[in-house]
């Protein structure tokens, strides 16, 4: 639904150039909620502004719903009319709502409809429908100044939906809101995603937002996407930073001759009593050092850090059993002097193992 290839944005600011995007390849599937997370300055806003061509990319392409927007930008009158039309199919929600204080709530939503050329009564009817959709039917005649932050953002969302978009872009829509309001706005975005089949690309610096509603996520750093995938894929990727942030599990080995394994559950395996089966099958005592379970995108997902008696060499079979059950099992500590040579986990470098053990 949204694809960028080699997207680059270089800002010229006085005496220097700032590379905000450095070759971003992003792929958002139709109907998914996709979260881009990263610290301040990572390039998230630049990315979202380039996706709807609010900002002209320095190079690279942006395709939304099969249409190459970059090809339309700045190519004569016909192309710019087409670009304007394409942009009505992309809604945008802002952190600070960007409402006009001098207009009523209803008028704020009517504004984009006016620009789209929708006339009088049809415009009001549509705006009222949208207000109803976001749960604010009774606030039509209020002014933005009379609303709470969460209500203002609902108006912002209703306005973004005026052009019946297929895609909704959200730039830190909940960053100015308290946790409870954040939850209700995220729920609204999720509902719209499901009811209207709306594809949502949201950017945030809060991992909780990703955890609450995203099907897929990407981690951005210094203008690049350093990790991306569905939440399930990320959890199944050894050493994934996003997976560690989403499901942090702590705990270190209780003694030298112990093997510590991170087990990731998702989908069906989450509901099966695999750990007790493991314990019974091999007659071993298993300690749980840490665990994090949650529902992500409607699926039960979790990670558990377990400790098995004996060194890695003695646990090859039980670890194989876990993997046969469809679980991801990553050895984080294989007991004294054994881990570095662990043949089952070739991806793991000693450095990654040290990092895991330290925390």
Ligand X SMILES: Nc1ncnc2c1ncn2[C@@H]1O[C@H](COP(=O)(O)OP(=O)(O)O)[C@@H](O)[C@H]1O
The nearest distance, CB 208 to ligand X, in angstroms, is: 17
Residue 41's binding partner out of Mg ion, ligand X, none, with CB under 5 to 8 Å set by partner kind: ligand X
Q: Could you write out the three-class secondary structure of the chain?
A: CEEEEEEEEEEEECCEEEEEEEEEEEEECCCCEEEEECCCCCCHHHHHHHHCCCCCCCEEEEEECCEEHHHHCCCHHHHHHHHHHHHHCEEEEECCCCCCCCCCHHHHHHHHHHHCCCCHHHHHHHHHHHHHHCCCHHHCCCCHHHCCHHHHHHHHHHHHCCCCCCEEEEECCCCCCCHHHHHHHHHHHHHHHHHHCCEEEEEECCHHHHHHHCCEEEEEECCEEEEEEEHHHHHCCCCCHHHHHHCCCCCCCCCCCEEEEEEEEEHHHHHCCHHHHHHHHHCCCCEEEEEEEEEECCEEEEEEEEEEECCHHHHHHHHHHHHHCCCEEEEEECCCCCHHHCCCCCCCCHHHHHHHHHC
Number of residues in contact with Mg ion under rule CB under 5 A: 1
Residue 13's binding partner out of ligand X, Mg ion, none, with CB under 5 to 8 Å set by partner kind: ligand X
The nearest distance, CB 41 to ligand X, in angstroms, is: 4
| Residue from the set 24, 37, 43, 158 that interacts with ligand X by CB under 6 A | 43
Beta-bridge partners for 59 = 8
Residue 38's binding partner out of ligand X, Mg ion, none, with CB under 5 to 8 Å set by partner kind: ligand X
Residue 226 touching ligand X (CB under 6 A): no
Residue 95 touching Mg ion (CB under 5 A): no
Nearer to Mg ion, 45 or 199 (CB): 45
Let me know: does 109 contact 159? Beta carbons within 8 Å.
yes
d(CA 192, CA 196): 5
- In the numeric block, which tokens belong to residue 69? 């927007």
Let me know: does 331 contact 319? Beta carbons within 8 Å.
yes
Nearer to ligand X, 49 or 123 (CB): 49
Which window, 38-46, 81-89, 102-110, 310-318, contacts Mg ion (CB under 5 A)?
Answer: 38-46
Q: Could you write out the three-class secondary structure of 91-159?
A: EEEECCCCCCCCCCHHHHHHHHHHHCCCCHHHHHHHHHHHHHHCCCHHHCCCCHHHCCHHHHHHHHHHH
Which window, 42-50, 96-104, 250-258, 269-277, contacts ligand X (CB under 6 A)?
Answer: 42-50
| Residue from the set 4, 45, 52, 166 that interacts with Mg ion by CB under 5 A | 45
- Binders of ligand X among 84-123, rule CB under 6 A? none
Residue 11's binding partner out of ligand X, Mg ion, none, with CB under 5 to 8 Å set by partner kind: ligand X
Which positions from 195 to 214 touch Mg ion by CB under 5 A, shown as an x/- string?
A: --------------------
Which window, 21-29, 42-50, 66-74, 179-187, contacts Mg ion (CB under 5 A)?
Answer: 42-50
- Binders of ligand X among 1-20, rule CB under 6 A? 11, 13, 18, 20
Which window, 33-41, 116-124, 173-181, 314-322, contacts ligand X (CB under 6 A)?
Answer: 33-41
Residue 46 touching Mg ion (CB under 5 A): no
d(CA 232, CA 169): 23
Residue 87's binding partner out of Mg ion, ligand X, none, with CB under 5 to 8 Å set by partner kind: none
Residue 282's binding partner out of ligand X, Mg ion, none, with CB under 5 to 8 Å set by partner kind: none
Residue 46 touching ligand X (CB under 6 A): yes
| Residue from the set 35, 38, 57, 144 that interacts with ligand X by CB under 6 A | 38
Nearer to Mg ion, 45 or 328 (CB): 45
Residue 41 touching ligand X (CB under 6 A): yes
The nearest distance, CB 168 to Mg ion, in angstroms, is: 17
| Residue from the set 4, 8, 45, 230 that interacts with ligand X by CB under 6 A | 45
The nearest distance, CB 278 to Mg ion, in angstroms, is: 45
Question: By the criterion CB under 5 A, which residues form the site for Mg ion?
Answer: 45
Question: By the criterion CB under 6 A, which residues form the site for ligand X?
Answer: 11, 13, 18, 20, 38, 40-46
């Amino acid at each position: 639904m949204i694809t960028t290839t080699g997207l680059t944005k270089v800002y010229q600011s006085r005496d220097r150039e700032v590379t905000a995007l450095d070759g971003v390849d992003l792929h958002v599937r139709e109907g998914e909620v996709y979260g881009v997370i990263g610290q301040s300055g990572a390039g998230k806003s630049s990315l979202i502004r380039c996706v709807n061509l609010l900002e002209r990319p320095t190079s690279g392409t942006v395709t939304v719903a099969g249409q190459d927007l970059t090809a339309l930008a700045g190519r004569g009158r016909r192309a710019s009319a087409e670009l304007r039309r394409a942009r009505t199919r992309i809604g945008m929600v802002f952190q600070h709502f960007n409402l006009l204080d001098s207009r009523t709530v209803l008028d704020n939503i009517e504004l984009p409809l006016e620009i789209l050329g929708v006339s009088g009564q049809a415009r009001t009817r549509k705006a009222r429908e949208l207000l109803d959709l976001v749960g604010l039917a009774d606030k039509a005649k209020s002014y933005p100044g009379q609303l709470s932050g969460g209500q203002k953002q609902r108006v912002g969302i209703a306005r973004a939906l005026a052009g019946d978009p297929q895609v909704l872009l959200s730039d830190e829509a909940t960053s100015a809101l308290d946790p409870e309001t954040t939850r209700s706005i995220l729920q609204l975005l999720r509902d719209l995603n499901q009811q209207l089949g709306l594809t949502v690309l949201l950017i945030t610096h809060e991992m909780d937002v990703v955890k609450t509603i995203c099907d897929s996520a990407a981690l951005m750093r210094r203008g690049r996407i350093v990790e991306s995938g569905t939440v399930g894929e990320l959890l199944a990727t050894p050493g994934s930073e996003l997976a560690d942030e989403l499901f942090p599990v702590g705990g270190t080995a209780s003694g030298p001759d112990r093997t510590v394994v991170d087990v990731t559950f998702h989908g069906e395996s989450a509901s099966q009593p695999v750990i007790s089966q493991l314990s019974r099958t091999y007659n071993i005592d298993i300690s749980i050092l840490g665990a994090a379970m949650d529902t992500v995108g409607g699926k039960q997902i979790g990670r558990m850090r377990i400790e098995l008696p004996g060194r890695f060499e003695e646990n090859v079979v039980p670890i194989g059993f876990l993997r046969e059950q469809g679980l991801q099992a990553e050895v984080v500590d294989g007991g004294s002097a054994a881990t570095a040579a662990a043949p089952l986990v070739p991806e793991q470098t000693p450095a990654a193992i040290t990092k895991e053990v330290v925390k």
